[in-house]
Each structure stands twice: as structure tokens, then as C-alpha cells.
Structure 1
Amino acid sequence: MSEPLNPEQLRSLTPLNVLSEQQWRELRAQLVPQPLLAGQLLFRPGDQARLTYYLLAGELLLQSVDGQEQRLQAGSEASCHPLSPSLPRLHEARALTDASVLALDTATLNRLLTWRLAYQDLLLELGQDHAEVEWLERLLENPLFAKVPPSNVRAMLARLQRVELAAGSTVLQEGDVGDSCYFLKNGRAEVIRGAGSAQQVLAELEIGACFGEEALLADSPRNATVTMLEDGVVLRLDRQDFFALLKAPVVDEVSLGEASRLLAAGAQWLDVRLQEEYERAHALQSLNMPLQLLRLKARLLDKTRTYLCYCDSGKRSSSAVFLLSQLGYRAYALRDGVDALPAVQRDALLCESGSGYLARSGGRTERSL
């Protein structure tokens, strides 16, 4: 298998040339050239594959539906742009010589480009301070910021309070009342639940990570402790600013009717209540990932699928959607939770009982025995 290309080899490609180093790292797994043999078809007119193609080597023939032809040579100005980008495709593309192409997931590329262009002005304002730009890029490349308007980000940056911490310092303590959330600006931190022999490390946080928001969204005590692994800096955002600037645009809520339409399109119920609550009654074929374990278990979910989170009041499901958005998943919360539904609708929704369904690696689900 070919090695991924170095971003420097792709700097001539438009609009890839505006991506940041962090964004290139996100695309790395896709930066593998795909070989084409002379005469091999790449795509036909009407093709609906959501891929963005670039010609890297060799020569292609593009033929439109009305018979017009264009010979495309790698290295030419025309080859620096995507091949027949409109969907459905308007051309047939066939290799005239042995060739290679780059195929990128269009949805991922569009997300990265949208973010980069939307925040370009803000990054330019900070351009004199390389450290600030680097941190802000890492922060904004958190997928949840794809939903946050630039005006909210500007307001948030003005309200953040800087806190310098030494290695071993506790940023927040399990069981405490939550009145703010935090962003890790530099250094390393870990998320821990429990104490002594029952202690469990849930995650190590990266620069730009948001944490502490679950207590705000669920209106409950902190469910984990965050400790600095090395000297670093965190930025504190007060409760009211979090709700106004981040929660509102990030947490998408749906009614039961809207959820039904999403289910018909392939979405999956995700029950974020405790296992005992789930076993008592849960939605048909729903997965159970209790909120306190979601950060640890989310890797088992399928990023190509939409998840509909629910709980009793809507608070835990809002927390789940916020967390899943950070991790790059598409998720919605059932508005106000199942307790807000009329009894008939609630009973119809929570129609199964018992151990139900489990998530397995690769996004697979299976019935628990």
C-alpha cells in the first residue's frame, strides 16, 4: 500500500492550499494516491460518489455528456483543481496513460474548508502572535466549532479567564458543583473517575479540548476529576457565557416527530441513562451508553451514522450531544427528554426492556444475551 503523501506535495492544489497543518493531519489517512491503468475509468456522467478527485500523475480524458473532450495533464494549471466537482458528475473521466489520483471525502473537505475560511479573519487578527494562532487553530478545529458562529467565538475569547497550573494540580474535582467549563490551552491533562483501587482514567485531553461542560448541561455535580499531567494553562468560561455562546448553537434538539424521520433515514437511538434505567424500559433497538461512560466508549460508534440521544429530562442527552459533537459525531437530543412526552407517546417509545443492544468496534451493534 502506498504511503500517504506529504502535504508539501499537494500545496499547488486548490483549495487544499488554504488548510492548516492540523487539518492536513486530519486528512492524512486519505492522502494516499490511487493508481489508474491506461484506459481505466475513474467515473461516469451521473456518478454520485461524494469524493473530490485530483489528478496527481499521468493524463486523463474528460468527456462531457454532449461529447466535448478535454485532455488533462498532471502538473498543468487545470489539474490543480478538482475533477468534475459537480454532483451528479457531468463528465466521464478515463486514464489515457497510467496515472494516479487523489480521492478525498467531500464532506470532510467541505467541513475543513468552511471552518478555515469562516475564521480566517480572526486568525489574521492574531497573526503577530504565533503561539496564540496555533492554540486557536487547535481549539477551533474541534468539530463542535463547526456549529459555532464566528461572532460567538469572538465573544467567547473576550470572556475566557486564563489560569496557570502546575503539574499535579486539580482543575476540577469529581463531586463538586460545576459553575464553569474549561479549555486546555497548553500542557497535558487527564480525566479520572473514582479513587484508590476503583480509579479509572477515562481520557487524556489534547490542547484545545473543552471539558467540565457536562456538569453545566446536566445541572449535576462534576462526574470526573481533571488533573494536570504537566505545567500548563487552562481557560475558564463562566456558566452563563457557556450557555449563551456555545450550548445554544452546538446542541441540536429534535421533537419526537423529527426523530422519527431521522430514524427512517438510518439514525440510531442512543440511550444515555444509567444501565438500570435502560433495562427497565428503552427505545426499540437503542444503544445504551451512560453519559458518564460516553467519553470512554464513543470510539465504538459509527461516524457515518446519526445518533438520537435521549434521557429522562433532556439534560443528560444535551451533555451527550455536546460531547459527541466534540468527537466528530452527528447527534441530536430529544427535546426535554422522554418525561416531557405524553404518557401514550412515552410508553410507545420505551417499548423494550432488558439488556438490549451493545455497540461493538467499527460501529457494529449486536443484541446482548
Structure 2
Amino acid sequence: MRVLALGGSGGMGRATVRAALTYDFVTEIVVAGIDGELAERFVASLNDPRVRNLSLDITDSQALRQAMDSVDVVLNSTGPFFRFGVPILTAAIEAGKHYCDICDDWQPTLQMLELSEQAQRKGVKAVIGLGASPGIINLLSVKAASTLDQVDTLVSAWKLSGAINDDDGFTPPPTAGQVDAAAVHLMHCLSEKIRILHQGQFIDSKPLEHSVLDFPTLGELDVWSLGHPEAVTLVRRFPQLQNCYNGMLGIEDLVADLRAVAEAVANGQVSVDDAARQLAGDGGRAARQERLAAKDRADVPSALAYAAGYKNGQPATAGAFIGNRPSGGMATITGIPHALFLPLLHHGDIQRTGVFAPEEVIDPDRFFELFDPFCGEQGADLTVLCSAD
């Protein structure tokens, strides 16, 4: 299997490439990115003849298609996805290449799902949003919902305190004017209306709306809503859903600051990129993480799924989370699931052609079976709880 890793020298891309190299059936990985020097250094460090680097500007459509010509699978880690998701998937489908990404924006998610018929005609299998959130958390949602006889509400939530990467030795030092893609994504999510499922209908709502979940064994958890793909894709797996949204945990002390910056973007006072620079700047990021860590509940996992509905005719709730995660921070918890598309594809676990969210075509138990070896001796320690049990 020959693989093109777009953004493969970035933080999450590097985690994807390292995980992909653990599989013998992978015969070649082309690490492609606009920073050719970084890609070259990263590839050299791997000391694996199956890997080579390619300097590539993904906005050059001709060069992008040429890069796809010699591979079987495209793994796309290049964000922000509200800019790059649709054109790259479109190119992969036109080239007849299987595709997977870590798209975490809901608008391009809907646009990419509309390309499913084109992918079917080309025999392409494409999974979008196979990272941590979305990705792992979608499959946790399936596990939680499956414990109930009827599920009405699904909420996926994660800690902002966990949204940092460990330094793997290839993180470039910040430069003047540099903008962090993850921070751009966050400001984009917070400065525009978000799509959620409410009382059986999709509505466009304000971000950072507060709710409280009564999570089995953990008690009350405060959640602030965020625009994410889970809110618009889980209903495809559970069409009876009435309510579905994604949110952040443990940001009580940051909500006012986030709202203020997001409002400035929404009013045109500052660009998304400049707001991201402010959010991710040395002082801003360090101060933010310190404030989050000070209030972090140790008993609450970094990401979880909550379901509400009925079991045995009575109201019930359920929850799912993993107790262990790979070392390396946000990069590995996102990049490793991305790489798992390869064994799922190779072993025939993904049977349908078209464009899908993870929960539509991936069996959670099979996924966590593949994920466990990356999480230490005890594996991911998948936990599923139900209030009716």
C-alpha cells in the first residue's frame, strides 16, 4: 500500500506517519508539505527506506494531482479544513484514490459528505474526521448509545486543557506572523453560528452556550458548545436523535475571554488569523493552559461521550470514554486514529464506497482493538457506563 501523507511533517501528520510505519503492508509513504526542509529532516530521522519527502504546495492543483498519481491512499492532515478539506478530497476522488482526513470543521464536513456519489462512481472509500474529536469521540458515542434501547440525545465533549502537543523534536520555533492551524480552527468555530440538532431539527446556534450533563458516576459536568462535525454526522448513524452537539469541558475561567475575542472576529474588528495569533501566542497560550490546569478535574477524562434516552422503558443515561491515551499529547491522540484507516482499509473492515463519517462505516470494537497497542500495556481502557445498570 502506497500512501501520500499531506501535511505529514506537521505535528499531527508526524504522528500519523509514525503509526502508519508500524504496518508491514505499507510499502511507501510520501511525506508532503510546504516546508520542504522540515519534511526532509523528519523523513531522515525515521531511517526507513519506505519513506520519502516531497515539497508540495497543496494550493497548486496540478502538483497535488501529480503527487496523488503514484499512491493508493491519501491521508490528509492539512488544516484548517474549512479552507483545504473540500478541494483535497475532490482531487483524491477525481484521481480515484482512497482518502481519510482529520477534518474538525462542520461546514466542509457537510460539503464533503455530498461528494459521496462521486466517490462511489470512482470506487473510492473515504472517511472524514478520523482523529480524536471527531473520530474517537464519534465511536465512543456509538458505544454509549448502544447501551440504551432508545437514544434521544448525544453530546460529545473534550477538555481544552488537553489540546496541546508534546515537543517531539520537530516542532519549529514560533516565528513572527506565524499562525497555528488549531488556533485558527478554534477561533473559526467560536466566531460563527454553529449547527446543532435541537428537538429533532438542525438549527444555527451561538457557540459557547452552557449546559450541564449528569454523567454516570462522574456527576454534573459543565459543557460549553462548539461548532464541530459530531453534531451534524451522528444523526446519520442514529436517525432518531432529537438533540446532538459538541462542546468543551472545564473552561469556566476562560469563557468570558473566548467570547470577547470571538465577538471581535464576528464584528470584523480582527481577522480569524490575528485572533488565533493572540490566542496561541507564547504568553496567551501558556497563561491559558495554566488557568485550565488549575481547575482541571482529575477524575474527568480528556474526552467523553454522553447519551440520554430510555432503557427497559425507563429514562436512562450512558457514557463512554477511554482511560488511557498514547503519549505525545493532541498530536498522537489525533494522528494515530488517522493512521488506523490503513489497516481498516487493508483488512476489509471498511466495505462501502463513498464518503462517510467514522461512525457510519467503522465498528468501534474493531477500531479500539487496533488502537489499544498504542496506549501502553493496558490498552485504551475503554469504559462504558449506564445509569440503568
**TMscore range, shorter length:** under 0.3
Normalising by structure 1, what TM-score? 0.22
Which entry has the higher C-alpha Rg, 1 or 2? 1
Higher share in helix? 2
Normalising by structure 2, what TM-score? 0.21
